């Protein structure tokens, strides 16, 4: 049995949090015993982990003061963990070097970020590179991220393992017609309306103003945006005059959200491997997304890629999907098959366990 402690900045809304949930719930419990520590706060994924029976620790009520450090020290010393696995910037910059000073337990860093320097910022390269001196392995969610780590942060390629995110393909599964009708009725949307959705943190890099623009370009469709974040009020203001665009706020039941959709859009400017497209694919929802390295490698020929921010191109593709039910069905089926074969969380958990075993045997 491999005892693993996952350490993450927080368990609020985020793709890394979603990936972590699927990773620990998809594991073989007879091989990996996983616990999760949030450096500060609780959040929606804290509750989800508890419901899944995963031991989860909140080390501090807030980011400042950093009360999480002494509590993390006590947890690591008492836990007798075989592996410490770090997610997001705070965990990798603060918790990982701190744990290295406490213990010789092998450390895995997980890089969920886009391989775009404009998103990461030049200022992040030095601290990232220095902190990877304390990483025994670095998991990159795409080959582009791995290449970025080697090229820009001087991480030795021998330390890096490329491993795509995984999604629970049993939970995220095609919706039956009755469920779709029920979800739409709860939202006040007709069963015969073509519904397009976007889901994620409402932040500039997600470029969700494009979805509001799509509602203007495609008045015959209905657009729903799920999530919360710094741009929520701006997006609500932009959408307030559009009867066919609605912000839903925080979405706790994501499979139910996808059940309402005919298509999913991802207009992001920067991404690594977003969980939302894997979830949509697994739910047999056609995806129209920005042409970014990690997104393209995930979708393959099971979705449509357009230039980031090109609302006109997205609108054209959505119109084709709306008007051609056979094309929509084929694309959804191909997406579902690709998700099951390549991105099932059980496969991801199995590969993560192999990385742990490799470290323990060295």
Mean per-residue pLDDT over the chain, rounded: 94
What is the Cα–Cα distance from 63 to 349, expressed in whole angstroms? 29
State the sign of the Cα–Cα–Cα–Cα dihedral 321, 326, 329, 334: negative
DSSP 280-315: HHHTT--EEEE--HHHHHHHTTSSEEE-TT-HHHHH
189 with 109, same domain? Answer: no
Does residue 294 fall inside a structural domain? yes
CATH of the domain at 291: 3.40.50.2000
How does pLDDT run across 117-136, given as a tens digit for each residue? 888 889 999 999 999 999 99
pLDDT value at 246 more than 90? yes
191 with 296, same domain? Answer: yes
pLDDT score at 166:
94
pLDDT score at 65:
84
Does residue 171 fall inside a structural domain? no
pLDDT value at 292 more than 90? yes
25 with 64, same domain? Answer: yes
203 with 285, same domain? Answer: yes
53 with 108, same domain? Answer: yes
133 with 216, same domain? Answer: no
- Give the mean pLDDT of 21-41: 91
Assess whether the previous peptide bond of 65 is cis (omega < 30° from 0): yes
Does residue 172 fall inside a structural domain? no
Domain hosting residue 243, numbered range: 177-342
273 with 263, same domain? Answer: yes
43 with 142, same domain? Answer: yes
Does residue 226 fall inside a structural domain? yes
22 with 66, same domain? Answer: yes
Pairing of strands 194-199, 263-266: parallel
How does pLDDT run across 225-243, given as a tens digit for each residue? 999 999 999 999 999 999 9
Whole-structure pTM value: 0.91
pLDDT score at 28:
80
Q: Which residues have a Cβ under 8 Å from the Cβ of 145 and sit 6 or more positions away? A: 111, 113, 114, 115, 162, 272, 294
Tell me which DSSP letter residue 230 carries: T
184 with 162, same domain? Answer: no
Proportion of the chain above pLDDT 90, given as a percent: 89
Contact call for residues 139 and 164 (beta carbons, < 8 A): no
- Give the mean pLDDT of 304-326: 96
What total of structural domains would you count in the chain? 2
284 with 351, same domain? Answer: no
pLDDT score at 118:
80
195 with 62, same domain? Answer: no
What is the Cα–Cα distance from 17 to 10, expressed in whole angstroms? 8
């Amino acid at each position: 049995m491999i005892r693993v402690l996952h350490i993450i900045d927080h368990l609020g809304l985020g793709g890394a949090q979603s990936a972590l949930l699927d990773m620990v719930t998809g594991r073989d419990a007879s091989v990996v015993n996983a616990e999760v520590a949030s450096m500060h706060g609780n959040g929606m994924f804290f509750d989800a982990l508890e419901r899944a029976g995963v031991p989860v620790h909140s080390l501090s009520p807030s980011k400042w003061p950093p009360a999480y450090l002494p509590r993390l020290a006590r947890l690591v010393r008492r836990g007798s963990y075989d592996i410490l696995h770090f997610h997001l910037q705070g965990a990798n910059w603060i918790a990982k070097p701190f744990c290295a000073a406490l213990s010789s337990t092998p450390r895995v860093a997980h890089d969920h970020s886009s391989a775009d320097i404009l998103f990461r910022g030049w200022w992040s390269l030095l601290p990232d590179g220095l902190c990877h001196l304390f990483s025994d392995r670095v998991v990159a969610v795409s080959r582009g991220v791995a290449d970025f780590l080697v090229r820009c942060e001087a991480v030795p390629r021998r330390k890096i393992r490329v491993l795509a995110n995984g999604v629970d393909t049993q939970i995220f599964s095609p919706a039956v017609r009755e469920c779709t009708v029920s979800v739409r009725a709860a939202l006040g949307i007709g069963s015969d309306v073509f519904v397009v959705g976007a889901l994620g943190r409402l932040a500039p890099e997600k470029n969700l103003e494009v979805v509001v623009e799509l509602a203007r370009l495609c008045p015959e469709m209905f657009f729903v945006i799920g999530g919360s974040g710094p741009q929520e009020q701006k997006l609500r203001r932009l959408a307030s005059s559009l009867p066919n665009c609605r912000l839903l706020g925080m979405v706790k039941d994501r499979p139910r959200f996808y059940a309402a959709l005919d298509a999913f859009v991802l207009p992001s400017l920067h991404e690594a491997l977003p969980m939302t497209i894997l979830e949509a694919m697994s739910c047999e929802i056609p995806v129209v997304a920005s042409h970014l390295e990690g997104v393209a490698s995930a979708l393959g020929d099971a979705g449509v890629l357009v230039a980031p921010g090109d609302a006109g191109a997205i609108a054209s593709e959505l119109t084709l999907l709306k008007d051609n039910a056979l094309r929509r069905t084929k694309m959804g089926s191909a997406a579902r098959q690709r998700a099951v074969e390549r991105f099932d969380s059980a496969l991801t958990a199995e590969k993560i366990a192999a990385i742990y075993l490799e470290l323990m045997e060295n």
